Amino acid sequence: MMHFLTYADNYAVGYFEKQGFSKDITLDRSVWAGYIKDYEGGTIMQCTMLRKVDYLNKPAFLAKQKEAILTTIKQLSRSHIVYQGLPQFLPGQPENVVVDPRDVPGLRETGWSYDMMTNVIRQSPKNADRAWMETTLNDLIRHPRSWPFRTPVDPAEVADYYEVIKKPMDLQTMGDKLKDGKYKTTDAFANDIRLVIDNCKSYNPESTVYYKNADKLEEMFNEYMAKRPS
């Protein structure tokens, strides 16, 4: 048995992806059609076994991979080298001790110099805004309740959507706009988030899962707005 198929609801897709399943179905439809129950609203996913992997001996297989990765890391970095701690911070030592960075074991070996202390670049307000928008958008996308808003609505699935909603917006489109530098202010970014929420509530009845997910997205976004750079 080399192939597994399952139907995952929208909340379980991420779980199955972590287990090795994919939305890319390579198994010929004639092999499985009619043998697996079709669930409305579910996503069919496939996991294909690899003949070269001994799944019964997986711990040893993963241990070899880990060993190879650690060996490569040691060749590229010094992260495996452990230095003695600074005696100035041992119990019984005077408080408020000033330590010269040059006395920190291993620091100079990393390429550190005093110039790095004198040329520190402070984050500008513009960079702070960008970082906040990126963090907010990424966290909203990763939230399990945001699945209806991640991509544009497919007109093939919702025929009248673009007749009702004149200014569509979704998180994927927002990501593209952010990447292209089209959000000059956090207000413009916030307006698009609220457009996503308002569109959903305008189109869907309050009793639907879409409306409730929009409520959750709004609640989460309000928490991020409270942390917005001033």
Q: Which residues contact 80 (CB under 8 A, 6 or more apart)?
A: 70, 73, 74
Residue 109 pLDDT exceeds 80: no
Of 163 and 74, the one with more pLDDT? 163
Nearest to 200 by CA among 230, 157, 169: 169
Q: DSSP state, 159? A: T
pLDDT at 181: 92
Residue 74 pLDDT exceeds 90: no
E strand or H helix at 105, and its extent?
A: none
**Contact yes or no for 183/177 (Cβ under 8 A):** yes
Average pLDDT, the chain: 89
Q: How far is CA 118 from CA 14, 97, 112, 121, in A?
A: 45, 21, 12, 9
CA distance 211 to 191: 18
Residue 95 pLDDT exceeds 70: yes
User: Which range is least confidently modeled, 82-96, 166-180, 190-204?
Assistant: 82-96
Task: Tell me the pTM.
Answer: 0.48
pLDDT, tens only, 5-45? 998 988 899 999 999 999 999 999 888 888 888 777 789 99
For the chain, give every domain's residue range: 3-48, 125-225
Q: In CATH terms, is domain 125-225 a member of 3.40.50.300?
A: no
